[in-house]
Chain A
Amino acid sequence: MNQQQPADKLDALLRGWAERRQAAQDLDALEQRILAAVAEEASRGNLGAPCPSPAVSDRRGLASNALAWFSIGAAAIVAAVACWLLIDGNGKSDVPARQARKLPPRSAWLDGRELGEKGRLIREMERVFDHRLQWIAETGGRVLLEVQSQPATDAAESCVPLAAQIVVVRRDPRQPQAVPVWTVDVVARQERVIRLSAESAGLPEGIELRFWAYPVDEEMVAVDSSLSFPGLALAWDFSSVQKCGEPLAVCRVERNGVEYEVFQTVARLDKET
C-alpha cells in the first residue's frame, strides 16, 4: 500500500515484466516440441478415442436429463420443506423481525445526489490543491484534508475516486428508529490510506480510524478498515470485499440492552456527474 502512488503502476510493472519474459521465450522451439509430443502421443493412441456414436450420446443425454430433472425435483421439495419449517415453525416466525432489525438505517446509504456532489467536490478540490490532494474527510462538522507535497502523476489522477461513509448507529428497543451517533465521510481516490485519530484529526479521545479501498470491478470494492471507539467498546478490523453503494454491517455490540452497530458504505464516484 503506497499512498504516494497509484495502484495501476503495479499493473504496469507486472505487464512489463510479463512482456519481457514472453519476449525471452523461444515459442517456435516450444511449438515444435509440443507438436512432436502430440504426434507421438497420438501414435500411441493416448489422445482419447473419437466420441461415441450420436445414438449413444442421445441415450446418455436422455439418461442424464432424467437424472437432472429428478435432482431438481428433489431439491425443490427439500427447499420447500425447509422454507415451511423456517417460516411456519410452531405457527410463528421471527425471521421477518430479525431481518427488519438487520436492515441498514437510512443514514447509512449514500444517495445519487450525495454521490454527485462528492464527485464534483473531489474534482474541484484536486484542482484547487494543484492535484496534491490525498483525501477529504468530514466528521462532527469538521472537514479534514490531507495534501501531499508533490502533485499527483497523470496516472494517479486516473485512479477511481471513491466515497466512503462509516456510521455508528444506536438501536434502543424502546425506539423504533436507529439513531446515528457518529459518522465519518471520506472522499479519496482508490488506494489512499486514510488515518484519522485524536492526534491527527482532533477526533474524540481514543477514536481511531484507518481506511483503504480498491475497486476490484464495476460492482465490488475491496476494503481494509479498522475503527476503535473506546467509549462504546467498539472495535473492528475489516478486510474483505463489499458491494459498491450498499451499506454493510461490520460490527455490532450490545451494552445495557442498547445495541450499537457500525455500517460501512463505499461507492464509486466515476459514474457520477
Chain B
Amino acid sequence: MPEIVQTTGETLRAPSPSDEQLAAAYQRSGETSLLEELARRHLPKVSSLVSQIVLEPSAAEDVTQETFLRAFRRLDSFRGDSQFGTWLYRVALNTAYSHQKRRARSPVEYHGGLHEFDTAGTSPDGRMLRAELDGQVRAALSELSPKLRAAIVLTSIHGLKAAEAAEVEGCTIATMYWRIHKARKLLLRRLEDYLSP
C-alpha cells in the first residue's frame, strides 16, 4: 500500500525583512512603501496601546496617526539600540502623554453606554452587564495617572515583563515595579465589587 504523504501546499518564501531592515532601507532609499509596511505591521498593537492609554476612541485614532507620523519623521533617531517595536511603543506613549497634557484641563469622563462595544450575540441582560463592567474598567483606568495606567496596560494587557515595560518607558526597573504595584493596588480597590465571587 503506497504511503500517503500530506503536504501543506505552501511554497517556500524568503523571510520578510525585519523592522530594523525596513527602517534602514527607508533611510537609504526614502521609499515610502517601506514606511507603509512598518505602519501595517505595527498598527494593531500601537492602536490598541494608544486606545488603552487615551481611553477616548476618537482621540485615540488621532493619537495613533500622530504616533506613526512622529516616528517616521524621527526615524533617523532610531539607532537600533532597542527593537523597533519597543522604540515605537515609546513614541506612542510619549504622543499619548502629550495628548493627555493638552487635555489635562478636561479630564476623561466616562459617557459609555450599551453601544460602546460590539456586544452582539449576547442577551440584553448580558449586554447591559458587560457594558457596565467595561464602563467601570475604563473609569477606573481613567482615574490612574497616565504613567500608572501605562504600567498596568503594558504588563497586564500587553504581557510585557517589568524590565521590558521599563525599557519602553525609559525608566528604571525599580520605578516600573513601583508603578505596577501602585496601579494594581488602586485598581483592585476601585474594582473590588467586580472581582468578588
Q: Chain A residues in contact with chain B, CB under 8 A?
A: 1-2, 4-5, 7, 9-11, 13-15, 17-18, 20-25, 27, 30-31, 33-35, 37-39, 41-42, 46-51, 150, 153, 191, 214, 216-217, 220, 222, 224, 240-241
Contacts and interface: CB of A to CB of B under 8 A. Distances in A.
A153 B197 contact: yes
Contact of A47 (B29, B32, B44, B178): B32
Interface string B156-170: 110001110000000
Interface of B: 26-30, 32, 35-36, 39-40, 43-44, 47-48, 51-52, 57, 61, 64-65, 68-69, 72-76, 116-119, 130, 133-134, 137-138, 152-153, 156-157, 161-163, 173-174, 177-178, 180-181, 184-185, 187-189, 191-192, 194-197
B72 A41 contact: yes
A191 B184 CA distance: 11
Given A216-B162, A220-B177, A34 B39 contact: yes
Contacts of A27: 43-44, 47
5 closest A-B pairs by beta carbon, nearest first, are: A222-B181, A51-B27, A17-B137, A241-B177, A42-B32
20 contacts: A7-B188, A13-B195, A14-B156, A14-B157, A17-B137, A18-B153, A20-B118, A24-B57, A24-B116, A24-B118, A31-B40, A34-B64, A35-B39, A38-B69, A47-B73, A48-B73, A51-B28, A51-B76, A217-B162, A222-B184
B27 A33 contact: no
Given A1-B185, A220-B162, A23 B117 contact: yes
B43 to A, nearest CB: 5
Contacts of B185: 1, 224
A34 B66 CA distance: 9
A222 B40 CA distance: 38
Contacts of B29: 50
Given A14-B157, A51-B27, 12 more contacts: A10-B184, A10-B187, A10-B191, A13-B191, A14-B137, A14-B153, A20-B134, A21-B117, A27-B47, A50-B26, A214-B184, A216-B181
Given A23-B117, A48-B75, A241-B181, A9 B195 contact: yes
Given A10-B156, A11-B156, A48-B75, A241 B178 contact: yes
A154 to B, nearest CB: 12
A273 B187 CA distance: 33
Contact of B43 (A34, A214, A220, A241): A34
A46 B191 contact: no
B39 A13 contact: no
A222 B197 contact: no
B117 to A, nearest CB: 4
B54 to A, nearest CB: 11
A35 B156 contact: no
